[in-house]
Amino acid sequence: MTEKNGETHEGAVLDFSRRMSYSNYLSLEKVLNAQHPLSTAHDELLFIIQHQTSELWMKLAIHEIRAALKCLRANDLQPAFKMLSRVARIFEQLNSAWDVLRTMTPSEYTDFRDALGQSSGFQSWQYRAIEFLAGNRNLTLLKPHAHDPDIMRELEAILAEPALYDEAVQLLARNGFDIGEGSVVNPDGTRGESEKVLEAWAEVYRDPRRYWELYELAEKLIDFEDYFRRWRFNHVTTVERVIGMKRGTGGTVGVSYLKRMLEVVLFPELWRVRTAL
């Protein structure tokens, strides 16, 4: 094939003056011009890109969880399984990404930490959205977003709907199990334990063949929480490695706060059922 400038390359289209190109389709102009370091420190670009890519993967996780919720509500479990598997894989991707950030030493981080002011991952609204979607709903954590009506609307819309775990427990009810009052929500938005919900899951786990879809759903949720826990663990370990026991820019005590978050359980009866079998 001959292009009008006379050059060819393996039949590839070479003239994009009037066609949609790779960059056009992906809005790379915007994405690749969205890194604005505030210092001259070499590692600040790593820090920014690490967070931006994490936020992009979180955007996809939110998209998948919301779609999975719709499917569960419609008793359409197979597509929900596929989406939940994808969410776990996204977290696996986020977990591997810590290896890149860990190449940054404490001295290298100190070179630009002051430039971050009081900004912190604590203010990641997409991270909160994922926690809220899963079922961990601490309303105090809406506060850092009170100044932004668009984000507040988005988070409140998520809070207005049942969470992933509520949908799973409702599915138990629709399959004839007695779930009592359903999943227990503690005053701080974390999940407590219901004996009835535990007993229902125990029945499912005692006879997986009979309740295969509920069993598969439970295992998808456990998989998701497993990867989510690994993310929290990688985060706190990286933080300790980089800033030790310093207070966080977001105002918390730092590592001790993050260690406490390791104890949060998203789907309590699904973990306890293992002991009950």
Ligand X SMILES: N[C@@H](CC(=O)c1ccccc1NC=O)C(=O)O
Q: Is 122 annotated as a binding residue?
A: no
Q: CA dihedral defined by 118, 121, 123, 127, rounded to 10 degrees? A: 180
Applying the rule CB under 6 A, the residues between 45 and 104 that interact with ligand HEM are 50-51, 54, 101
Which of 46, 49, 67, 116 lies at the binding interface for ligand X (CB under 6 A)? 116
Q: Find the binding residues for ligand X in span 18-77 (CB under 6 A).
A: 51
Residues 147-166 that bind ligand HEM (CB under 6 A): none
Residues, the chain, total?
A: 277
**Tokens standing for 231?**
């993310």
116 interacts with, out of ligand HEM, ligand X, none, CB within 5 to 8 A per kind: ligand X
Which range in 66-74, 148-156, 169-177, 244-252 contacts ligand HEM by CB under 6 A?
Answer: 244-252
- Give the C-alpha separation, 7 to 221, whole Å: 54
What is the closest distance, in whole angstroms, from the C-beta atom of residue 93 to ligand X in the complex? 17
Judged by CB under 6 A, does residue 215 bind ligand HEM?
no
Picked from ligand X, ligand HEM, none, the partner binding residue 119 (CB below 5 to 8 A depending on kind) is ligand X
- For residues 257 and 248, is the Cβ–Cβ distance under 8 A? yes
Residue type for 183, please? S
Restricted to residues 131-150, the positions that interact with ligand X (CB under 6 A) are none
The smaller minimum CB distance to ligand HEM, of residues 50 and 170, is found at 50
Q: Using the rule CB under 6 A, is 251 a contact of ligand HEM? A: yes
Closer residue to ligand X (CB): 116 or 185: 116
Q: Is 50 annotated as a binding residue?
A: yes
Q: Does 257 bind ligand HEM (CB under 6 A)?
A: yes
Q: Please give the annotated binding residues for substrate, written as ranges.
A: 47-51, 109, 113, 249
Residues that bind ligand X (CB under 6 A): 51, 113, 116, 119-121, 243, 248-250
